[in-house]
Copies of this chain bind each other. A is one copy, B any other.
Amino acid sequence: MTGKARTSSAEAQAASAEAQAASAGPRAASAGPRAASAGPRTSAAEARTASAQARTPSAQVRPTLASVARAAAVSHQTVSNVINAPHLVRDETRRRVEAVIAETGYRPLKAAQTLRTRRSHLIAVIIPAPGEWRGELHNAFLHALTRRAQKSGYRVLLFTAADDNEEINAYDQLLGDYTLDAFVLTGTHSGDRRTSWLRRKRIPFVTFGRPWGSTAGHPWADVDGAYGDRIATEHLIAAGHRRVAFLGWPEGSDVGDDRRAGWQQACAAAGLPPEGQPRLDMEDDLAQGRAACARLLDAAEPPTAFVCTSDTIALGAWTEITSRGLIPGTDAAVIGFDDSSAAAAVGLTSVAQPLDEVADACIVALSKLLSPSRRNPPYDRVLLKPRLVLRGSA
């Protein structure tokens, strides 16, 4: 096996190996077992190749399918098969090619793959402006998604947009030049134009958030907010609280209504008098949360516990409580939502969303969507349970 010995001795270093193999090309080929059949055609072709290689004497060249093939004395398609359809290749050949791949560190160029297959392994996600859609949560989600995606061979591409319409434009732009595999949307809401647009265009996507109002038609993953505030409320009731207030967003927000329902269910299930459970609506703002808390504390029969739709509001309540010289968790309980870093910092009990699981579900759903197996369930719909992170405040 002269040819084989030659190739194996040629490597050791990726770059030099390639140069060596190139210059040794024709000889190795003629020494191979298939020498008789090769004939003049091959030598002509390889002469061209050799001269082309000679033009780049010692430059750091990236290995390609062709260069790997040359070094392993097979055709480039066989190398491709080793990677994409190993069962087509004889074991011995496969091992030989795999050795060259390992030595040269060959990796297929995405751009070429994308051009050919129309798959880029790129998924696009919006990055909201700071302050929008509770930035910290989205950031954590982005991180989880990126991590999970890269484990599955996908990468996350960012884009920005100020509102849904701009976001749809952004989709169009992105699809215009990049060959995206899919989108991941966040913050779905009733009558979401983005999902209908994407569906009309038959573009694969998943949403973090249920298709509020409409019935699916696309895969999604979401966190059960009602469950979250139900266990929060149950926790408070179990601790002896009988007047459990709810500080939340105004009615009409899908997520807010869902969470409030959980509080209501828990109160009802425990047989707490409905009129004894005060509730105030407000925007997602610390000052408003604080004011609302103050108002309730000053009422005739003040609540002893506050369930809040967000950590922002909860921190407002927490601030009001401490500023009165009361101790959160002892004198008045507070529970927030989202388990933000601020909550952790001050010791606020909060409902944590399992973002890793959400990201996981998103990628799994996308994989199914993009894989050709067509007897999968039509769409993944995953509703995950949040968990209560107990700290001092409740």
Contacts and interface: CB of A to CB of B under 8 A. Distances in A.
Interface in A137-187: 139-140, 142-143, 146-147, 150, 155-160, 174, 176-179
A136 B146 CA distance: 17
Most buried by B among A129, A160, A179: A160
A180 B342 CA distance: 36
Interface stretch (A88-96, A109-117, A272-280, A373-381): A109-117
Interface string A114-125: 110000101000
A131 interface: yes
A157 to B, nearest CB: 6
Given A114-B111, A115-B109, A130-B136, A157 B160 contact: no
B155 A158 contact: yes
B139 A179 contact: no
Given A136-B130, A286-B346, A110 B159 contact: no
A352 B346 CA distance: 23
Main secondary structure of the interface of A (DSSP, over half): helix
A365 to B, nearest CB: 19
A283 to B, nearest CB: 12
A158 B130 contact: no
A111 B115 contact: yes
Given A109-B115, A110-B179, A319-B322, 4 more contacts: A107-B176, A107-B177, A146-B160, A322-B323
A108 interface: yes
A204 interface: no
A120 B131 contact: no
A81 interface: no
Given A127-B142, A150-B160, A160-B150, A109 B177 contact: yes
A297 B113 CA distance: 65
A315 interface: yes
B135 A341 contact: yes
A263 to B, nearest CB: 24
Contact of A346 (B129, B159, B179, B319): B319
B155 A157 contact: yes
A156 B155 contact: no
A312 B158 contact: no
A345 interface: yes
A287 interface: yes
A168 B30 CA distance: 39
B147 A160 contact: yes
Contact of A136 (B107, B135, B312): B135
A128 interface: yes
A142 B176 CA distance: 23
Contacts of A127: 139, 142-143, 146
B130 A139 contact: yes
A81 to B, nearest CB: 19
B110 A177 contact: yes
Given A160-B143, A160-B147, A341 B130 contact: yes
A143 B159 contact: no
Contact of A135 (B139, B158, B174): B139
Given A135-B139, A156-B157, A346-B286, A179 B109 contact: yes
Contacts of A342: 342
A158 B142 contact: yes
A318 to B, nearest CB: 10
Contacts of A178: 110-111, 155
Nearest to A116: B111
A142 B322 CA distance: 35
